[in-house]
Amino acid sequence: MPKGCFFGVNPVKPRQEVIDNLNVNISNISTNSVLDASQNVWKSRVDLEITNKSGNSFKEFAVSFDLPQGCWISDYYLYVEGKKEEGILAEKKSAKWVYSNIRNVNRDPGILFYLTGNRVSFRVFPFSGNETRKTGIEFLHKEPVKLKIDGNIIELGDAIDFVNETVETENFAYVYTEQKQRLPSVQRKPYFHFMVDVSENKDAHLFDFSKLIENVLDENKPLSQNAQISFVNSYVNTFPLDENWQSRYKSQVFEGGFFLERAIRLALYNAYKNGEYPVIVTVTDDIQSAVLDSDFSDFKIAFPESVLFFNMDSDGALKPHSLIEKPKEQLEDAHYSFDKTVLEYRISDNSRVYLADNNEPEIILKKDIFNINEADIKEKNWLSAVNMQAKFMSQTLHPETSAKDWRNMVKYSFISKVMTPVTSYLVVENEAQKAALKKKQEQVLSGGKLLDTDDDSQSMSEPGLLLLAILLGAVLWGRRFRKQARPE
């Protein structure tokens, strides 16, 4: 089969990230699921014992796990020196900043926060040699769910007797698993969308790239129909791939960087409600230098057929990459096809969206942009969680709205006590650390989302640093005093 040819091969699942905990693992699990009859949802608590099986101190438990669709975290606790400390729901950047600073002085934090999509990071620090620590998480969910945490399968809830129909508002719909499988199955038509690197000095590859694109088009005629091409640097200029594409290529201004993330998002957004979908092919001699700093897990509603895109190598072979995990890394031994069906959900007579054909429930946006009524957000309420998730999806499709709505999204999470992609559950050891968290959070919320974009490395103002230094100094002094006062 030709190097660039697609047809006649099988689908592939992308590789999953493996985190090595260095002998710090879950050693015991207990669960308790209670039905909240007022809203017919489960509140399930998972209690964990985590053991450092090595003799070394200052080890960290660090895993990530995927939340099933329709399942949210609504509480968290961690035992610190024999005392149960309840989790604080905080603005995400503030919580991560405080966790990092406390961890650096070997204190006792634990944290949960979203990475991308439904993937959650879960960290506890520190562990002494052979120490076991207790922690727990509460989950809010409508249907029975399975979680995989640190290699353990955890089943929560049972099937309950309720009308298993779509939950629908004017802004969004939540389609249950059973209801989803009754939707009509359709097959959207795939087409090539080439994304050509026209950053600084890439004009040297113009002739070679043009020949490689021509070869791929010749070898994959079905995908060549209605194909598109985008010339990408600091801007994204998109055209039909017609007889004039090469002259357009030659007329490009080769400058700036290769802003691939922006180009991919734009292509996926423009196609997600259409009867055709793009097979994205990046054309560059160095994908590692592309501006592609995050994956597209938050954007999964826009690519229900496949999580793959392709990078063309110097021989014209199309190498698969994942949209949802480490997109710059090539997938090895991948097989794929473009004959997958999807499920069609009609919003109106002239509008529809397409869902992945699987056994997972789905949230659908009926309006791309909408506002939340604060009165609709209630504490530990499942429908409130759906509402907030739909709003986050709306902001993902329209990032121009996120700065304006960001503080409200944090506020709604606080009201509901449900963790969202803009908040985090954090346990700290004492009042001094809580004061440091409050100080940082006030600073971030007053500064705004776009003024503090680096989650881990942003510094406070000088007064903020001074306060934190005093607080952490008090923590260390108090710890030393307790040790000295402890009888031998």
Residue with tokens 């190097």: 3
Q: Is the domain of 34 the same as that of 59?
A: yes
- Closest to 273 (Cα-Cα) out of 148, 450, 397, 418: 397
Structural domain ending residue among the three candidates 270, 287, 322: 322
Rounded to 5 degrees, φ, ψ at 316 are 90, 0
Would strands 88-91 and 152-156 be described as parallel, antiparallel, or unpaired? unpaired
Q: Are 319 and 139 in contact (CB under 8 A)?
A: no
Q: Is the domain of 32 the same as that of 159?
A: yes
* Rounded Cα–Cα distance for residues 246 and 239 (Å): 11
Instruction: Examine residue 98 and state whether it is found in any structural domain, yes or no.
Output: yes
Instruction: Examine residue 403 and state whether it is found in any structural domain, yes or no.
Output: no
Q: Is the domain of 153 the same as that of 125?
A: yes
Q: Is the domain of 242 the same as that of 282?
A: yes
Q: Is the domain of 166 the same as that of 129?
A: yes
Please give the chain's pLDDT, 488 residues, in tens.
444 554 434 333 333 333 446 689 999 999 999 999 999 899 999 999 999 988 888 888 999 999 999 999 999 999 988 899 999 999 999 899 888 887 765 566 899 999 999 999 999 988 888 899 999 999 999 989 999 999 999 999 987 665 556 689 999 999 988 888 899 999 999 999 999 999 999 999 999 999 999 999 999 999 999 999 999 999 999 999 999 999 999 999 999 999 999 999 999 999 999 999 999 999 999 999 999 999 999 999 999 999 999 999 888 889 999 999 999 999 987 778 888 999 999 987 788 999 999 989 999 999 999 999 999 999 999 999 999 999 999 999 999 988 888 999 999 999 999 999 999 999 987 777 788 788 888 888 887 654 443 444 333 333 344 444 444 444 444 444 343 333 33
* Tokens coding 248: 């357009």
Q: Is the domain of 174 the same as that of 203?
A: no
* Tokens coding 417: 């006590």
Instruction: Examine residue 369 and state whether it is found in any structural domain, yes or no.
Output: no
- Closest to 439 (Cα-Cα) out of 94, 86, 85: 94
Q: Is the domain of 170 the same as that of 197?
A: no
Structural domain ending residue among the three candidates 322, 339, 360: 322
Q: Residue 445: what residue type?
A: L
DSSP state of 242: S
Q: Is the domain of 192 the same as that of 315?
A: yes
Instruction: Domain of residue 198: give its range.
Output: 185-322
What CATH number is attached to the domain comprising 291?
A: 3.40.50.410
Instruction: Examine residue 357 and state whether it is found in any structural domain, yes or no.
Output: no
Q: Is the domain of 197 the same as that of 305?
A: yes
Q: Are 176 and 56 in contact (CB under 8 A)?
A: no
Structural domain ending residue among the three candidates 322, 337, 366: 322
**What is the tens place of the pLDDT at every residue in 79-133?**
988 899 999 999 999 899 888 887 765 566 899 999 999 999 999 988 888 899 9
Helical (H) or strand (E) element with 397: helix 382-397
Instruction: Examine residue 191 and state whether it is found in any structural domain, yes or no.
Output: yes
Q: Is the domain of 254 the same as that of 291?
A: yes
The C-alpha angle with vertex 67 and arms to 138 and 277, in degrees rounded to 5, equals: 155
Number of domains in the chain: 2
139 forms bridges with which residues in the sheet? 44, 73
Q: Are 393 and 301 in contact (CB under 8 A)?
A: yes
Instruction: Examine residue 159 and state whether it is found in any structural domain, yes or no.
Output: yes
Instruction: Examine residue 252 and state whether it is found in any structural domain, yes or no.
Output: yes
Q: Is the domain of 149 the same as that of 194?
A: no
How high is the pLDDT of residue 171? 95
Instruction: Examine residue 40 and state whether it is found in any structural domain, yes or no.
Output: yes
Describe the strand order of the beta sheet including 167-168 as a list of residue ranges: 167-168, 172-175, 362-365
Q: Is the domain of 208 the same as that of 146?
A: no
